[in-house]
Amino acid sequence: MTEMTPWLVLAGLGAFHGVNPAMGWLFAVALGLNRNSRRVVWLSLFPIAAGHAVSIAAVLAVVVALGLVLEPHSLNLAAGTVLLGWAAYYALYGHRHRVRVGMRTGMVGLGAWSFLMATGHGAGLMLVPVVIPLCLTASPASELFTANALPVSLAAVAVHMGTMLAVTAVIAIAVYEWVGVALLRRGWINLDLIWIAALAATGLVLVS
């Protein structure tokens, strides 16, 4: 069960991002309604997923590079500091720097929007504390981020993205076909506040 915990956390983070309307499903529904096409809803999911995947993969690539020169403790400290800083920035300024993309955007533009949104939310940063222990359990600390880091990182991206895409697809189709966007007007949990708290809590654990 302990060995499965990091992978369950990766899947849980993917599900959380899938539920969050700011990470893509609301845009997919809006495009589908704007063009009166269920097919557009389905097609929109792929650039949304691709942009998100590129964002978190870029963050993990930076961590792999840092792992070549930093000891695990220093890497945890650096990751925790960045998480705390990102949580503070997002709490203060995140709502002011929303990425605006029109309903006429193409699939490339949608992918770019998804990349920027995931990066702005710090989506990849939350995967770092999970991926580092996975690398450490399969190789000595001195060999961290050499032979083991790449396959672990790719697997982490795959698990996270697979869960996010599945949840995003279910919600987007359900809202488009049956529920309707009035759901958001009736009330929706402020997922941004939960995300900021999660970033800050994870950062505190890493630096403590």
For 25-54, write each residue's pLDDT tens digit: 999 998 999 899 999 999 999 999 999 999
**123 closest CA partner among 93, 144, 100, 94:** 94
* pTM as predicted: 0.89
Q: What percent of the chain has pLDDT over 70?
A: 86
Question: What token pair was written down for 134?
Answer: 């996975």
CA distance 92 to 177: 36
| In the chain, domain spans | 5-207
DSSP conformation class of 177:
I
Query: Residue 69: what pLDDT?
Result: 79
pLDDT band at residue 176, thresholds of 50, 70 and 90? very high
